[in-house]
Structure 1
């Protein structure tokens, strides 16, 4: 995954507004745990597309 660090500083979880951390090919919310996919280095920040924590 190749996402600009400045972009990672400003994007937040659309569900709870907490920070997101890169983990593999996903951005994972530090609060609610939703994991958003990253496709072609573009974060897909749609709650309907996110993987729920198990």
Structure 2
């Protein structure tokens, strides 16, 4: 089960406090200004900057 939309609305990027969006696979949260992806494991977003991965350029806006 993916992250609920209302829960997604209250989450913010821990680095810039910007808005996050769910990726197409629904297994990560994207922060476009920081170009980071926060992984979702077992339906729990891992909101640690040190755990974030670089956003690939192939991800569409």
Question: Same-fold call, TM > 0.5?
Answer: yes
Tell me the TM-score range normalised by the shorter chain.
0.7 to 0.9
Q: In the alignment, which residue of structure 2 is the partner of 1:46? A: 48
Following TM superposition, where does structure 1 have runs of at least 4 consecutive aligned residues deviating by more than 4 angstroms?
none
TM-score computed with the length of structure 1 as normaliser: 0.87
Report the structure number with the largest CA radius of gyration.
Answer: 2
How many pairs were matched up? Answer: 54
TM-score computed with the length of structure 2 as normaliser: 0.79
Aligned equivalents of 1:53, 1:29: Cα separation in 2: 8
Greater RCO, CA 8 A, separation 6+? 1
User: How far is 1:49 from its partner?
Assistant: 0.4
Query: Structure 1: which 5+ residue stretches go unaligned?
Result: none
Query: Structure 2: which 5+ residue stretches go unaligned?
Result: 57-61
Aligned equivalents of 2:55, 2:9: Cα separation in 1: 23
